[in-house]
Chain A
Amino acid sequence: MFSNHVTSDASAYCHGELSVDDARKFAEHILVCSKCRNEFEQIKFGVLLAAQLPAEKAPDYIWSRLETQLERRQIQDSNQLPRRGTFPSRLQIVAIAATLLIFSVVTSLWYRQSKIGVIKQSFWQVTNLDGVPKIASKGFGNNGRLGVGQWLETDSKSRAQIAVGSIGHVEIDPNTRVRLLETEPTEHRLELAEGKLSARIWAPPRLFFVDTPSAVAADLGCAYSLEVGKDGSSMLRVTSGWVELQLKDRESIVPAGAACETRPGIGPGTPYFEDCSPYFRAQLILIDFGHGLDDRTLALTNILNESRPRDTLTLWHLLSRVDGTDRERVLEKIEGFVPLPPDVTREGILRLDSDMLARWRVALEGSWQGNMAAPKKVAEDWKIGNGVTRRMSNFGSP
């Protein structure tokens, strides 16, 4: 081994990687060989330098981002994901952040525009609307760039607008913190930690997402506002199109004119039209987030008594959030407004048959949106996950 010089073993000698016998021979050689000794001293100095290399601390927020991705993957892998308009028989309470998925209503013109607009870039343009908003804790004048991983923050006097490629824009209200998580051709994602944003998006389904502590919003080509409180709960208000909120197997589809609250550990509540009475809304809160069974049953009675024809939005969502005789009562109330379609049975609805729920929902949507019912194609193909390419292809070529 030591027929010639030994410097090739210098690092291994420093690290104790040589056998006892080879280490002894190495040491004996450098005693008598000045060339090897000089090179050994240089490598030993390099070893000492490398030993000064400090480990770096990973940011704490990586875990929350990872959790969100894990949740999304679990939802994709789970067969409990209902087709559009269906819910599992039981909603489970979950204690982690959920993701909201919003599906956009796509026309061929929007599809072409969004394809053009969805170009890969590593940042979003930000315009200062008022005051001194900050990116990565620094003011940016009239225009700035929000890079992946960076926070955009507004104080009580500042506002900003984010351009989401050419597929839409998001206005950031005062006292708000948002972070750009991803900007890829097939996915654009913001995190709203606190405060309020208003989004106007014209894009294919599942192209734009907003993560909050209690749900993820997936865009369906719409306009909406989303506000997150300090406790992680949020309020979604849709002004145009549709928005989907989801947390694991609990989901709510929210049309224009409707709102929906979310709570950490529970996820999205039941959507309701904002022109309902405060009493109706208060009863709904008891059902969604209350604890007492008797309270919930009484609240359901009150809701059924107060329901108008367009409140079938709320009632349809409640079908999967109540059970037993309560579910029968809800079904009968909806039937009083809109009869079951020919291929839908009471038994199927009561057992939460996904296809039948979807078909009844399509029949109900006319009263939810006037002439702007959600496309049937979206209803049939809706599925949570990252299959944006597949879903985009479902809408055909422009």
Chain B
Amino acid sequence: MAQLLIDEPVIEACRRGDRDAFHTLFETYKDKVFSIALYSTGGDRAFAEDITQQTFLKLFTAIQQFRGESEFTTWLYRLVVNACMDEQRRRKRLLPMEAITAPVQVADKALQESQFVRNEVADAVRSAIKELKPKFRLPILLKYIEGLSYEEIAEVMGCSKGTVASRLNRGHAKLAKRLAHMSDYAQLTD
């Protein structure tokens, strides 16, 4: 179940047009929204920034429609998913994945090696995610970036829970097949 990361009073304040509350809400969810957008657009940061901005703009102007806590996270992710799908339809192609993050520098050699491996795996997973079809990619993003349950993912994507399970299965299988050469990395079993 997706955890509501902000208090109900903050959402209520946003409904009243409180700009500080909206800033709090933005700071809480901006990385999650941006991550969805970035992976959905194949790593195009400019488009991901635009989608993030559009999502929060829509949220701010329509937040009065919220009626309770349970709606908020699924509604937010539905906004960003729809924006990503609109962008994909408009562009109709995947863009090359750009370098997104740099490895964190650590002093200890063993830790450095471990971090290097983790970064290699993360980069490989990013590239593999990019190659998935949107219908398989989005459930994975909503599950692993946003931490949504199958039921919540179904609500966001407008499909059944069984469809979510099936698409996640297919997505996992494709990732495993594409990155089979990484099965020896011990970190994956931590």
Q: Are A49 and B188 in contact (CB under 8 A)?
A: yes
A41 to B140, CA, bound (A): 18
Q: Are B31 and A53 in contact (CB under 8 A)?
A: no
Which residue from chain A places its CB closest to the CB of B141 in the assembled complex?
A: A53
Which residue from chain B places its CB closest to the CB of A71 in the assembled complex?
A: B19
CB of A221 within 8 Å of the partner chain: no
Give 6 closest A-B pairs by Cβ, nearest first.
Answer: A46-B172, A58-B34, A46-B176, A149-B46, A58-B30, A11-B168
Q: Give the interface residue-count category, chain B.
A: 35 or more
A65 to B34, CA, bound (A): 15
Separation in Å of the B125 CB from the closest CB of chain A? 5
Q: Give the contacting residue for A56; candidates B35, B144, B183, B189; CB below 8 A.
A: B35
Q: Are A11 and B169 in contact (CB under 8 A)?
A: yes
Separation in Å of the A186 CB from the closest CB of chain B? 16
Q: Give the contacting residue for B26; candidates A47, A66, A73; CB below 8 A.
A: A66
Separation in Å of the B88 CB from the closest CB of chain A? 16
CB of B175 within 8 Å of the partner chain: yes
Q: Are B38 and A56 in contact (CB under 8 A)?
A: yes
Name the segment of B2-10, B49-57, B69-77 touching the other chain.
B49-57
24 residue pairs A–B, Cβ–Cβ below 8 Å: A8-B165, A9-B165, A12-B150, A12-B165, A17-B149, A46-B176, A48-B188, A49-B121, A50-B125, A50-B172, A53-B129, A54-B101, A54-B126, A55-B31, A55-B32, A55-B145, A56-B31, A56-B34, A57-B31, A58-B30, A59-B45, A66-B26, A149-B45, A150-B46
Most chain B Cβ neighbours within 10 Å, of A43, A53, A67: A53
Mask, A29-64, CB within 8 Å of B = 1, is 000000000010011011111111111111100110
Q: Are B165 and A52 in contact (CB under 8 A)?
A: no
Chain A residues close to B by CB (< 8 Å): 7-12, 15, 17, 39, 42-43, 45-59, 62-63, 65-67, 69-70, 73, 96, 147-150
Q: Are B150 and A17 in contact (CB under 8 A)?
A: yes
Q: Are A48 and B145 in contact (CB under 8 A)?
A: no
Which residue from chain A places its CB closest to the CB of B176 in the assembled complex?
A: A46
Identify 10 new A-B residue pairs, CB closer than 8 A, beyond the known A8-B169, A42-B176, A62-B53. A12-B168, A43-B172, A45-B176, A55-B35, A56-B35, A56-B101, A58-B34, A69-B57, A148-B46, A149-B49
A227 to B189, CA, bound (A): 56
Q: Are B140 and A53 in contact (CB under 8 A)?
A: yes
Q: Are B166 and A8 in contact (CB under 8 A)?
A: yes
A53 to B139, CA, bound (A): 13
Residues of B within 8 Å of A52, CB to CB, are 118, 121-122, 125, 188
Residues of A within 8 Å of B166, CB to CB, are 8
Residues of A within 8 Å of B45, CB to CB, are 59, 149
Q: Give the contacting residue for B140; candidates A12, A50, A96; CB below 8 A.
A: A50
Residues of A within 8 Å of B101, CB to CB, are 54, 56-57
Residues of chain B from 111 to 160 with CB closer than 8 A to chain A in the complex: 118, 121-122, 125-126, 128-129, 140-141, 143-145, 149-150
Q: Are B53 and A57 in contact (CB under 8 A)?
A: no
CB of B23 within 8 Å of the partner chain: yes
Residues of A within 8 Å of B143, CB to CB, are 15, 50
Separation in Å of the A385 CB from the closest CB of chain B? 14
A326 to B125, CA, bound (A): 69
CB of B177 within 8 Å of the partner chain: yes
Separation in Å of the A192 CB from the closest CB of chain B? 19
A67 to B26, CA, bound (A): 11
Residues of A within 8 Å of B56, CB to CB, are 62, 66
Which residue from chain B places its CB closest to the CB of A70 in the assembled complex?
A: B60
Q: Are B33 and A58 in contact (CB under 8 A)?
A: yes
Separation in Å of the A205 CB from the closest CB of chain B? 23
Q: Are A53 and B144 in contact (CB under 8 A)?
A: yes
CB of B173 within 8 Å of the partner chain: yes
A280 to B5, CA, bound (A): 55
A38 to B159, CA, bound (A): 29
Residues of A within 8 Å of B177, CB to CB, are 42
CB of B61 within 8 Å of the partner chain: yes
Q: Are B33 and A49 in contact (CB under 8 A)?
A: no
Q: Are A56 and B100 in contact (CB under 8 A)?
A: yes
Residues of B within 8 Å of A96, CB to CB, are 19
Which residue from chain A places its CB closest to the CB of B57 in the assembled complex?
A: A69
